[in-house]
Chains A and B, each alone.
Chain A
């Protein structure tokens, strides 16, 4: 977004506004925006609530922020706690804190180091997670790399390359964290510690800690001895 002649909006302490267009918006303390917000940069420290939609180039949430509407931004960084009610779309998204999305999430790159909860679908070119996620819809990405730092959940996962690995190696707790999903479909799939009803793909590797109902594969299938697979079919 080009920088126009626009004012900054700074809240230190407690303030509310009706929204509008700004250059930089910085909320420290307790800020309330009753309406839509368009700005170059939105930084939320402390506590804030925006009832409308947000359009920005850069959004950073350090405190606790609730946005009831849509969020459209080039970059989004959540270090604290953020809640978005509507569609969340951005190019680059980094969630190190907690991010709740009530609508669908679309991004080019999603890096998750904290917790992500999404009520609808997630679409990205690359999705890499070292945290916890719960996606009620479909996780659809070109590259999906998940390291299980906690229990993760999705209704469906689909994409080109899908890789789920347990965190590190432990003799004592080999079955610690799991990914729970109905269906996984992709070209190249490598799974560990995953519970799924159906896994379909061209090249499928089912690693240790997995419990899979049905595997359907085209070219290649490998099963670790530590994995449970009820049925495997070559298509």
Chain B
């Protein structure tokens, strides 16, 4: 992914935090392990971070740390939402997924009234897919069926969802981990979504709603 990276040294200079603080926060799981990206440079191994994410996160920690203990901050940053269940009206009321999207898919859920985190995530991914405007409703339904068939993958929040179109025919893929995928020239990638990132966005939306 072409995210902008920032080196550890630059990060500490910009934010004014010390090595000790950074390591303490890492220990307390305030900064996700995946954000520590090791790369070889001419001086040896160096650690880089996704720039925007880490700057936002450190800003957040700094603001919270006067009032809360590190453990409490960790709890806030990644509450165990996997256990959360929400009634459909709540999901719509809090605008986690719009009513329009829910109405389009309501039939698929067989009258289910309360959704697990994994199901909400599935719905959220579909909403995101539709939002691009490049995916037809029928195609979105097919994506839904695929996500349902591989619900355990979605639960693990690993991998990416791709929708590729060629000559009007769309194919959706759920990949485990993608470094590079090469596609023939006249095919087009319509959707590319990381499940982990969707889950993160969803968590933030759910928390802002006051879960």
Q: Which residues of A contact B (CB under 8 A)?
A: 123, 125, 140-142, 156, 158-161, 182-183, 185-187, 197-198, 200-202, 214, 216, 235
Please name 30 pairs of A and B residues whose Cβ atoms are closer than 8 Å in the assembled complex, sorted by A: A123-B27, A125-B27, A140-B23, A140-B27, A142-B20, A142-B24, A158-B23, A158-B26, A159-B19, A159-B20, A159-B23, A159-B24, A160-B20, A160-B23, A161-B20, A182-B45, A183-B45, A185-B23, A186-B19, A186-B20, A187-B20, A197-B44, A198-B43, A198-B44, A200-B9, A200-B19, A202-B19, A214-B43, A235-B9, A235-B13
Residues of the A chain whose Cβ atoms lie less than 8 Å from the Cβ of B45 = 156, 182-183
Interface size on B, residues (CB 8 A): 13
The 4 closest A-B CB pairs, nearest first, are A160-B20, A187-B20, A158-B23, A185-B19
Classify the secondary structure of B's interface with A: helix
Shortest Cβ distance from residue A124 to the other chain B in the assembled complex, whole angstroms:
8
Shortest Cβ distance from residue B181 to the other chain A in the assembled complex, whole angstroms:
29
Residues of the B chain whose Cβ atoms lie less than 8 Å from the Cβ of A186 = 19-20, 23
Q: Which of A125, A185, A216 has the most CB of B within 10 A?
A: A185
Interface string of B25-36 (1 = CB under 8 A from A): 011000000000
* Bound CA span A142–B45, Å: 22
Q: Are A183 and B44 in contact (CB under 8 A)?
A: yes
Q: Decide yes or no whether B18 CB sits under 8 A from chain A.
A: yes
Residues of the B chain whose Cβ atoms lie less than 8 Å from the Cβ of A183 = 44-45
Residues of the B chain whose Cβ atoms lie less than 8 Å from the Cβ of A142 = 20, 24, 27
Give B23's nearest chain A residue, CB to CB.
A158
Residues of the B chain whose Cβ atoms lie less than 8 Å from the Cβ of A159 = 19-20, 23-24
Residues of the B chain whose Cβ atoms lie less than 8 Å from the Cβ of A197 = 43-44
Q: Are A182 and B44 in contact (CB under 8 A)?
A: yes
Residues of the B chain whose Cβ atoms lie less than 8 Å from the Cβ of A187 = 18-20
* Bound CA span A140–B27, Å: 7
Give A189's nearest chain B residue, CB to CB.
B19
Residues of the A chain whose Cβ atoms lie less than 8 Å from the Cβ of B22 = 158
* Bound CA span A186–B20, Å: 5
Residues of the B chain whose Cβ atoms lie less than 8 Å from the Cβ of A185 = 19, 23
Shortest Cβ distance from residue A225 to the other chain B in the assembled complex, whole angstroms:
26
Q: Are B44 and A160 in contact (CB under 8 A)?
A: no
Residues of the B chain whose Cβ atoms lie less than 8 Å from the Cβ of A125 = 27
Residues of the B chain whose Cβ atoms lie less than 8 Å from the Cβ of A201 = 19
Q: Which of B7-53 contact A (CB under 8 A)?
A: 9, 13, 18-20, 22-24, 26-27, 43-45
Residues of the B chain whose Cβ atoms lie less than 8 Å from the Cβ of A158 = 19, 22-23, 26
Give A155's nearest chain B residue, CB to CB.
B45
Residues of the B chain whose Cβ atoms lie less than 8 Å from the Cβ of A140 = 23, 26-27
Give me 20 other A-B pairs in contact (C-beta within 8 A), A158-B19, A158-B23, A235-B9 excluded: A123-B27, A140-B26, A141-B27, A142-B24, A142-B27, A156-B45, A158-B26, A159-B20, A159-B24, A182-B45, A183-B44, A186-B19, A186-B20, A187-B18, A187-B19, A197-B43, A198-B43, A200-B9, A202-B19, A214-B43
* Bound CA span A201–B9, Å: 11
Give A200's nearest chain B residue, CB to CB.
B19
Q: Are B27 and A160 in contact (CB under 8 A)?
A: no
Other-chain residue from B13, B24, B26 in contact with A160 (beta carbon distance below 8 A): B24
* Bound CA span A202–B27, Å: 20
Residues of the A chain whose Cβ atoms lie less than 8 Å from the Cβ of B23 = 140, 158-160, 185-186
* Bound CA span A221–B24, Å: 23
* Bound CA span A216–B19, Å: 12
